[in-house]
Each structure stands twice: as structure tokens, then as C-alpha cells.
Chain A
Amino acid sequence: MSDPSSETTVGSIEVDGKNLNFTAGETILEVTRRHGAVSGEPCKIPTLCYDERLDPFGGCRMCVVELEGSHNPVASCARAAEDGMVIRSSTEAVEKHRKTLLEMVCSENRQVDVDPLSGYASQELKELADRYDARSGRFAGKKSGKSREDDPNPFILRDYDQCISCYRCVRVCAEQEGDYAISVKGRGFDTQITVEFDGHLKDSACTFCGQCVQTCPTGALADRKALRHTEVPGEIEKTRTICTYCGVGCSVDILTKGDSMVGVQPAMDGPANHGALCVKGQFAYDFVQHDERLKTPMIRGEDGELHPTSWDVALDKAAQGFLDARDKHGRHSVYAVASGRAPHEAGYTTQKFIRSGFWSNHIDNCSRA
């Protein structure tokens, strides 16, 4: 979010009595959020179908505000700011409208409360239901969306009983990922989020990047792999780091409960990825706590096999082998290969070991193969 007082502003609007300047093309919601982030008084206009990375959609109508001179409330996510607009964002009428809408939305879903492991945005409906006390059940009855329990894929739970037809999954797949794998079948109560030929994700254009899971506000599309850890005790903590796979350097949050790694979510403000990930970064993290990890130093014994030992013994043996080679065959007989997978500190110490220890440049990394 840029500085609201920047030179690119083209006018100002009044929101709840405050004058807010805006830049060309900004919507009422964007202006209000941007100023809120700067002022420390966050914008309170609620949204459900909104994802700031996507084009305005205006489907859920939660973000409607009163605009002076307009007969009906307007969707603030889709209406561009115009100089001199006077807006009231939370009048009694608007708040009542929002509550009624939410009661209808909630009435369609099997449950409003879903595990936060479901996905990055999965708590949005729950939080609004709490805020507007919308679990009245007074619209209970017909429901839309049918879960695809038949899809065996291990990554993406397709629990469409929870779908509220906000189309965020459809739009993120098209606009952000560029894959156009997800589409909509039917309308009204027959609305069903699906893929080509109504089949399984694996047989579609889906690449399992997880973007739909992370933008879903209800847990209808959920991280099936993370949800295996629902029963693990403890609060979810997030640690910001960089993905371990290719060179793009996507920012991710590792989700932990206690000392268990339970999932990964993309960092929406990651400078290289802005919330995007691929199947590897999103789902291929559990090698870290795999049983087959090498957990103790090993040295080769007289019997020719590798045996566990202490760090002291292993490090001494490692060092002695290099010194022996140097003493018998000269300092150029020692070579080191650094990793393109380990951090800088690994490569730096490895090259220093060779250069300061053996006075040579017999050091390389794994980039030639």
C-alpha cells in the first residue's frame, strides 16, 4: 500500500466524515483500506468475495456502503472513487443488510466454524458470523453445492457443502495462476464449483498450486494435507521463511503446532510471489520431519558399513581424513562441493575451509549438472 499523500492522488472522497485522497482507478474499498492501514484505524467494511489481488467482483454485497446521491447502496469493492463522493460505511441500514445477508449465507453451510488449518482465508466467514451474530438459522432450508467426496486427491478437500459461491477460487485460478482450471456449473441453488467434465482435479488443468484453497473464505476448498493435523494439540504458529525448492524464492509461512510442522501457507506480501505458490512449495514440506532423516553422525567401520557415532568422533575422523590426504598427496588433493540447496552460510564456510585451510581454489557447487 502506497503513501496516501503521494503525488499521484487525483481527488478525495469523504468516508464517515473523513476526507481521504485517492489515486486514479482506486475503488472506494481500496481507498478506505489504504488509509486505514496507514492511520492505524483499520477499515471495517466487511467483505467475503474480495481478494485484493483479484479484479473487483461485487458478488457478495457485504461491502455495500451508502453513497450520497445514490438511491441504492453501492458495492465499495467495485465502485471507483470519484472526487467529492460522500460515503457512510456503517449506517444502521447497511449493517442490518449485512447481517441479513450473512444469515442467509450461513444458513446454507453445514458449519460455519472450520479449522484454521483449512487455509489462509478460511476464517473469514466465521469471523463475520461472529461479528454480526449471524448464526440465527432463520433461513435454514435449501442449500447449494455438493461435496466431492469421490475425489481422492491428497491435497485439496472439495467440501462444496461449505461453498458460498463467491467465485474466489474460480477467479484466483484464472487471474492469478492463469490456469483456468476451475469453473462454475449451474446458477442459483444449483451453483456448483467444478472442473472440466465435472471430474477429479487430477484429470483437469489443475496444477495443485493451492491458490484456491488459500483464498477460500469458508473452508469449502481446504488443505486436506494440513487438516490431517487437526487433532495435534496446541495453537498454530506461523514462521516466515523462503520456499526450499526452485530459484524463484517465494515467501511462505510454515505452520507449526508445538514442534510439529503441520502446513505451509503462501505469504500474501512475499516480494517474489505475492501470495502465489506451486504444488511443491505448497504441499511438499513434510520431508523435514520424515522418519528417514539422518539423525546422527555415521562413520564407516572396519566391517565396511556405516555406524552411528558421536559428533566428536565423526568430526575428528572427518578432519583427520582431510589432513591425511594433504600430508600424503599435497594440499591440492582435497576438494569440496558446496550445495545450491543450503543457505549462504554453508557455501561460505565450505569455500573458506578450502581457501583458508588448503590455500587452494578447489571448491565448486552443484550448478554444472
Chain B
Amino acid sequence: MSNPLEDMSKPDVIFCIGTNMTECHPVAATGLKKAVARGAKLIVADPRHIALAEMADVVLPLRVGTDVALLLGMAHVIDREGLVDEAFVSERTEGIEAFREHLARFTPEWAEGLTGVPAADIVQAAVWYGEAERGAIYYTLGITEHICGVDNVQSLSNLALMTGNIGREGTGINPMRGQNNIQGAGDAGALPNNYPGFQAVTDPAHQAKFAELYGHEIDLEKGMTKVTALELCGDKIRAMLIDGENTVVTDPDRSHCEHALKSLDHLVVIDLFLTETAALADVALPATAWGETDGVCTNTERRVQRLRAAVEPAGDARPDWWIVSQIAKRCGFPGFDFESAEDVFNELCSLSPIYAGLDWDVIDKGEFHWPVPERGHPGTPILHQGVFENGRGLFRSLEYRDPAETIDDEFPVWLTTGRRLASYHTRTQTGRSHGIDYLLPEETLEIHPDDVADWGLQDGGLCRMTSARGSVEIKVAATNRSPRGTVFTSFSFNDTPVNYLTGSGYDPVTQTAELKVCPVRLEALPESL
């Protein structure tokens, strides 16, 4: 997030797109509800009529995968209505002229044709956001899990740059991170393109810094992403270490994923349970869990916080850092003589410019948002104040692209996937917590009641859902949350493995899977008629 969570109650216009915040980040949503209660306008763009839409001043129920078209239409209106923040644009951005020319043909009426959102509503949303003193954008995976995920984010960036809604309190472009330490995994350097602290591996200066540390050079080329690595398992990739990820159930195109992991010569999985993925391993190693582990995590607002152990580890479980360090030592690699989580974290701080002012003791109370470039620095709750790190903000002239697969006679229904409040990912944790089954006992497919009737299905009955990759049986739940022609489910239940269906395509830059769009067909199962 460019801005801290406490800013969520401060905007006068809030634009939520592709974020089901009340279910996926419920505590963050409480700040937003407070802003709405005190009179802030709420714009919600989502194919489904989610709980946020109930509170919205204008709802933009776009067809799945048409975010770029919607955002181009909004940018067109902001320009047309004279709502561009000219002072901000001339001072801090680049390329507005070309962008304005580009925008000319993307009228709200054009956008309506692709998105299905009435042009008048697109105009209203654009005018509100454009006129806002403090306009803030919030998004989640509904923006990124598309083949055009990068385009979607850049489209949002265009809106914020045009209107100067960045670098100030109560504004910003704010992605909500989904996992407790997914931000921290990136911070720590677990990325193919960055050393710790987002230092690009392609920069020879960074290479030199780490070469000195390790006593040898590291590739100057980026590594491959996990998506590519899974493609090449059994071919170029022969051995894999997976820490705390149930790849088989979370990743798209499950048949492909299972086949990939099985074709490795050597698979080591570190986890809390013998998950579907750990069951495929040659070596499965027990890690200590949350509540058993001392360590550090970074939340979605870049706040660096301490995790503390409260109970003894289960059985012979050990912390992940200890396990990985032991493997490294037994491979004969130097530099793994860590004796505590504190040792490891302090080494990270010493190598990461954004953590340079931090160490284990400094973060004890969780007061700091990175970057903290030196000791005594107060941290950076709001990014991009006064100046962008890379110079000027660039406008991108983007074009709408269709999703990787679009509906046709064979697969005439849009499937979109997501999360539910009471469940977390593949239920390795929530599924083993007493009582959660009372709230969410099984997977269901949410379908508009009129579609249920038209397609010969039955509320509560079973149907077969099939995509180009696979097929599952799933229970039908009739609900007005789903629009006509689009159905929704989560991927939480291994006995309804929806990820056999998904995986139609990947963003060419980030290789994030298009989990939000998958054409399917539905058939009633005889036993349910």
C-alpha cells in the first residue's frame, strides 16, 4: 500500500476495485466503513454484488476481465471534464500529452460496450474520483489475477497520477496483500528478480555487493518464476524446495502441477501438515507453526512487526530458518551459522537498504513502515511524498485485451474464483480449527437464481462444471451476488478441486495466473434432479 491502514477512514472518495474486502481483509474494511459512515463516497467495481457493493454510492458491475476498459473510460471522463490536476501533472509526471490523445477514443459509451456498466455510472464514478480532495484506490487480486494484471495496475496508476491522488494522507494506490507475510517474503529477497530489499539482480552494483558477501558471483540474469519452473519440472528443473505452500491445491491447472512435482528427481517440502503437496515429497520436514515461532512479518502497509512464540513446538518441529540453514550446511555452503531468528533478521537488515534503520530490537513495538533508510529515521507511512523514487510518474497508454479464454458455445459461462470470510486458502489451518465447519462446511458454486432456473439446475443440487482443462462436481447455491452469466466459487476445499479448471493464461510480465476468469459449462447431475 502506498498509504497506511489508518488512512482508510480519511478519504472523501474511495474507489474499491477487485477487492472483496469485508471477507478477505475484514479488519481493514472496518476503517473504510467508518469513512462511509462519516460521509465519504464509495465507488465499488466488481463483477459480483459483494458486501461492499451494498454500502456503495455507485456500483460498477463490470464483466470479468474488462477492468482496463472501465478505467480507460474513467480516465477519458476525468480528462474531458477538466478534472486533471494540472499542477501535479506538470510537476511530477511525464507523458500526459500522448496519454490525452490516446484517451480521446475511449468514451464511457465505448467502455459500456465492453464492461456492461452503464456509461452514466462510469461518468459519475470518474467525476467523483476526479473531484475528490482525497481520493483513494484499494484493490486486491481482482486486479492482478488476470493476463492483463500489470495493465490493470497501470490503469489505476494513470487515474491517481491524473488527479494527484498520491503521496498525500488519505489518498494513494493501495493493494491489499492476502497473506500474513507475503510482503515480507518479497522484502526478504525470495523473488527471482530481486535481492533482499528489492535490489534488482540485474544491477551489477547489487551483484557486486552480494558477490563480496558470498565469495562468488551470482547470475546477473533474473531467475525463473515459479510458474516457469513448474513448466520445466523434470526437464531443466530437477530438484525443488517448497516451504509452506500447498502448491497442488492453490495453483491453477492442478493436473499440470501434480504432474510437474511428480516428475522431479528430488522434492523437499517444509510444512505444518502432510498437505497434498507434502505427500508428494521425497523429504517432508516439520516446521514450527504460528504461535510456536519467533520471527518477523511485514503487513500490507509495510509495517514490520514481531511474531512471538507462545507454546512449545509440536513434536520435533523446527523453525523454517533452522531447517533451511541445516540443509545448506550439509550441502557445504558457508554463511548459515545462525543461532536464532534474531541473527537471521539482523543479517537481512544489514543488507537491505529499506531495512537499514531496523533491527530485531528496534521493531519490538511494530512502529515502523519501511523504507527506514537509517537508524533514527521515523519510517515511511506514506510513499511518494513530494517525489517519486524513480523520477517522474509515467502515464501508460494501454489497450483493452480480451481474457486468455472467452466464452463460446462449448464453454458459455464465466467462472470467477476468490475467497470466503470463514476460510483461508486451502483450509490446512482453518479446516483444522474447531467450529469453522459450522460456518462453512462445503464448497458451493454461486449462481444467479434466474440462471439456475434457465440452465435446468437446482438450488442445493449438484452440477458438473467443466473447463478446457478439467471438471468438478459442485453444489449449486442460488444467490443474487452473482450476476447473470457469471458464477463464483472459492478454491478452499480439496474435495472440490476447482483448480483442475483454472489456469487459462498468465500475465506476460508477472506470470500471475488468470484465476479470475475461466470459461466453463455447467450440467445438472442426474442424481440431483
Contact = CB atoms under 8 A, between A and B. Distances in A.
A and B: interacting chains: yes
Interface centre among B251, B310, B323 (most CB of A within 10 A): B310
Interface string A245-280: 111111100101001110000000001110011111
Interface string A210-244: 00000000000000010000000000010111111
B291 A261 contact: yes
A178 B37 contact: yes
A291 B211 CA distance: 45
Nearest to A343: B295
For chain A, give the interface size range: 35 or more
B251 to A, nearest CB: 5
A191 interface: no
B14 to A, nearest CB: 13
B379 to A, nearest CB: 11
A362 B179 CA distance: 22
A344 B289 contact: no
Contact of A343 (B184, B286, B310, B439): B184
Interface residues of B, number: 149
A348 B214 contact: no
B315 A296 contact: yes
> Dominant SS at the A interface?
mixed
A6 to B, nearest CB: 17
A216 B241 CA distance: 47
B363 to A, nearest CB: 10
B157 interface: no
Contact of B223 (A287, A300, A362): A362
Contacts of B311: 254, 256, 259-261, 288-289
Interface in B291-348: 291-301, 303, 305-312, 314-321, 323-328, 330-331, 333-336, 338, 341, 344-345, 347-348
Interface string A315-340: 11111111111101100111111111
B436 interface: yes
Contacts of B192: 361-364
Nearest to B194: A361
A188 interface: no
A356 interface: yes
B362 interface: no
A344 B295 contact: yes
B181 A334 contact: no
A132 interface: no
B183 A247 contact: yes
A85 to B, nearest CB: 29
A299 B301 contact: no
Interface of B: 5, 22, 24-30, 33-34, 36-37, 176-193, 195-196, 201, 210, 213-214, 216-219, 221-227, 229, 236-245, 247, 250-252, 265-266, 268, 271-274, 278-279, 281-287, 289-301, 303, 305-312, 314-321, 323-328, 330-331, 333-336, 338, 341, 344-345, 347-348, 365-367, 421-422, 424, 428-436, 438-439, 510-513, 515
Interface of A: 152-155, 176-178, 202, 207-209, 225, 237, 239-251, 254, 256, 259-261, 271-273, 276-281, 283-290, 292-300, 306, 311, 314-326, 328-329, 332-357, 359-369
